[in-house]
Amino acid sequence: MKDIKHFINGEYVGSASGKTFDNVNPANGRVLSRVHEAGREEVNAAVNAARAAFNGPWGRMTVDQRTEILHKVADGINARFEEFLDAECQDTGKPRSLASHIDIPRGAANFKVFADLIKNVPAESFEMPTPDGTGALNYGIRRPKGVIGVISPWNLPLLLMTWKVGPALACGNTVVVKPSEETPTTTALLGEVMKAAGVPDGVYNVVHGFGGNSAGAFLTEHPDVDAFTFTGETGTGETIMRAAAKGVRQVSLELGGKNAGIVFADCDMDKAIEGTLRSVFANCGQVCLGTERVYVERSIFDEFVARLKAGAESLVIGPPDDETSNFGPLISLKHREKVLSYYQKAIDEGATVITGGGVPDMPAELAHGAWVQPTIWTGLKDDSPVVTEEIFGPCCHIRPFDSEAEAVQLANSLPYGLASAIWTENVTRAHRVAAQVEAGIVWVNSWFLRDLRTSFGGSKQSGIGREGGVHSLEFYTELKNICIKL
């Protein structure tokens, strides 16, 4: 069986404790590899290596030299595209058609885009008068923060991890990454690519393990990490924030959501159905930006529900290597238990199950996989946990509304504020509603259309800070003002 080890100071190393855990393929329940679990010893070694590389070769390189190397990292991922694709699909069970269009190409692009962007951002400067008439000049320079702790989730493993590592390295920092225990493989594989691209030892380090009382907590408790960037659940974000408070370390938190789709009667129905289907069911509903609440103007409610049901029922459930499949399993049996508990709760609370609601029949070789049916409900009260809590599964509740004001009020009624999708052909309404929805990202007549130069992040309990474009620069560097008296 394959061993997945930590990547520390440019070498793959096992855990001194000998502790390992199984990495399971969620499509069939088979164990893919044995993963080493880091103790404090490995986390210390990784942080020390990152510090030495920051003070050493990486810190001394010019921006041009770093940019060139990061381009090679992106090329290195693309050169081993199939290997990354296989690893990601086996760890997550997601369809190859999805991972080959999103996860792996975006994983590579994150290195090129941020390296180029950061190279081209101008600094600010202000001339000022002084009482003696000679004046003074202020100008800003940016310096890397130091050692960044990167803690990432399992739903888009390579993409979300490189979304942080790309800009962190481009800005001159070094990193210690703790990938999700569910999806360690591509983060581990990236170590080989980094080495081959000429990234100095210690710049990119990986420690594997779980959250509490394991690698995740040991990393956030380590006093020599300068800042943390985290994507995951809101509750975990709170824990990380508490740990980071010791030593006043900065955090960037991309957290959970319970995103609303708002469908107006003046929408283009074909577009609204196609987009909502993707936003609810892509990646088996395990996308932080996904829609779990759909509000539809009453006059088109019945038609919308019928067409979304037909769309959900046309999804092809199957394993990643089945080219016709566009709907994979959930990440684990444990996560399926959580999702199914909401399926049950919906029934207990009197929902009308429009489609799904259970576990699909699968052939014997997939019977131990974490399969679940795409599910749509109507008829729940606004305060039902099914409507207010993030399920992170392939499901949504659809509710009618009667006015624009009511739609906005419903969309804004929860403590989350990550993303929203509005469907209307009325451009004035689109601007008006988009401005009122409390979310970090609002799409009009689309979903998951991402330009990496734009800001990304959540409001309310969906996060702190923004990454993307120059906003990543804000987090991964310290802005220093230099004032020169002339």
Residues with active-site annotation? 254
Collapse the DSSP code of 253 into the 3-class scheme (helix H, G, I; strand E, B; otherwise coil) and give the result: strand
User: Of 239 and 412, which has the nearer Cβ to ligand NAD?
Assistant: 239
Nearer to ligand NAD, 319 or 468 (CB): 468
> Pick from 144, 172, 232, 369: which binds ligand NAD (CB under 6 A)?
232
Residue 255 lies near ligand NAD (rule: CB under 6 A): yes
Closest CA to 331 of 285, 366, 266: 285
**Given 170, 288, 339, 387, the residue binding ligand NAD (CB under 6 A):** 288
What is the DSSP track for 157-206?
HHHHHHHHHHHHHHTT-EEEEE--TT--HHHHHHHHHHHHHTPPTTSEEE
Per rule CB under 6 A, is residue 221 in the interface with ligand NAD?
Answer: no
CB of 36 within 8 A of CB of 5?
Answer: yes
* Helix/strand/coil for 251: strand
- Residue 283 in the binding site for ligand NAD (CB under 6 A): no
Spatial separation of the C-alpha atoms in residues 415 and 388, rounded to whole Å: 9
Please identify, using beta-carbon distances, which residue of 185 and 236 lies nearer to ligand NAD. Answer: 236
- By C-beta, is 96 or 178 nearer to ligand NAD? 178
Q: How far is the CB of 254 from ligand NAD (least distance, A)?
A: 3
- 233-252 residues in contact with ligand NAD (CB under 6 A) are 233, 236, 239-240
Angle at 202 between CA 52 and CA 191, to 5 degrees: 175
| Contact track, ligand NAD, 415-434, x by CB under 6 A | ---x----------------
Q: Residue 389 and residue 325: Cα distance in Å, rounded?
A: 29
Residues that bind ligand NAD (rule: CB under 6 A) add up to a total of 32
- Single-letter amino acid code for the residue at 366: L
Answer yes or no: are the C-beta atoms of 391 and 292 closer than 8 Å. Answer: yes
Nearer to ligand NAD by Cβ, of 67 and 231: the residue is 231
User: How many beta carbons lie within 10 A of that of residue 413, not counting itself?
Assistant: 16
CA distance 357 to 374: 7
Of residues 181-200, those binding ligand NAD (CB under 6 A): 181
CB of 251 to ligand NAD, least distance (A): 11
Q: Is the Cβ–Cβ distance between 447 and 439 less than 8 Å?
A: no
Q: Which residue is nearest to ligand NAD (CB)?
A: 211
Q: Does 476 bind ligand NAD (CB under 6 A)?
A: no
Contact yes or no for 376/308 (Cβ under 8 A) = yes
Dump strand ranges (E) for 1-123: 2-4, 6-8, 11-13, 20-24, 31-36
Which range of residues in 48-56, 111-119, 147-155, 476-484 is near ligand NAD by CB under 6 A? 147-155
Give the nearest distance from C-beta 335 to ligand NAD in angstroms: 7
Is 393 an interacting residue with respect to ligand NAD (CB under 6 A)?
no
- Rounded to the nearest 10°, the torsion over CA 357, 361, 367, 372 is -20
Q: Does 144 bind ligand NAD (CB under 6 A)?
A: no
State how far the Cα of 116 lies from the Cα of 118, in Å rounded to an integer: 6
Q: Per-residue x/- marks for ligand NAD, 449-468, CB under 6 A?
A: ---------x---xx-----
Between 191 and 311, whose beta carbon lies closer to ligand NAD? 191
254 counts as binding ligand NAD under rule CB under 6 A: yes
Summarize as ranges the residues that interact with ligand NAD (CB under 6 A): 151-155, 160, 178, 180-181, 210-212, 216-217, 220, 231-233, 236, 239-240, 254-257, 288, 390, 392, 418, 458, 462-463
